[in-house]
Amino acid sequence: MEYTTQMDAAKKGIVTRQMRDVAEREHIGLDQLIDLVARGKVAIPANRNHTNIKGCAVGERMSTKINVNLGISKDASSMDDEIAKYRKAIEMGGDAIMDLSCFGKTKTFRRKLLAECPVPIGTVPMYDAVGFLEKGLSHIEPREFLEVFRAHAEDGVDFMTIHAGLNRRTVERFKANRRLTNIVSRGGSLIFAWMISTGNENPFYEYFDEVLDIAEKYDVTLSLGDAMRPGCIEDASDACQIGELMELGELTLRAWAHNVQVMVEGPGHMPIDQIAANMLLEKRLCHGAPFYVLGPLVTDVAPGYDHITAAIGGAVAAANGADFLCYVTPAEHLRLPDLHDMKEGIVAAKIAAHAGDIAKGIPGAAQWDHRMSEARRNIDWKAMFAEAIDPEKPRAYRESSPPEHEDTCTMCGEMCAMRTMRRALEGEKEF
Ligand-binding annotation for 56, yes or no, is no
Average pLDDT per 10 consecutive residues for the chain, totaling 431 residues: 95 98 97 98 98 97 97 84 94 96 88 96 94 91 97 98 98 97 96 97 98 98 98 98 98 98 97 98 98 97 98 98 98 94 97 98 97 96 97 95 90 92 88 75
pLDDT score at 246: 98
Q: Report in angstroms the alpha-carbon separations of 150 from 143, 179, 326.
A: 11, 34, 24
Ligand-binding annotation for 207, yes or no, is no
Ligand-binding annotation for 155, yes or no, is no
pLDDT score at 78: 87
Ligand-binding annotation for 405, yes or no, is no
Ligand-binding annotation for 412, yes or no, is yes
pLDDT score at 430: 74
Ligand-binding annotation for 307, yes or no, is no
Ligand-binding annotation for 409, yes or no, is yes
pLDDT score at 75: 79
Ligand-binding annotation for 186, yes or no, is yes
pLDDT score at 77: 75
What is the model's pTM? 0.95
Domains of the chain, first to last: 63-360 (3.20.20.540), 365-425 (no CATH)
pLDDT score at 272: 98
Ligand-binding annotation for 218, yes or no, is no
pLDDT score at 357: 98
pLDDT score at 176: 97
pLDDT score at 405: 87
Ligand-binding annotation for 226, yes or no, is yes
pLDDT score at 114: 96
pLDDT score at 158: 98
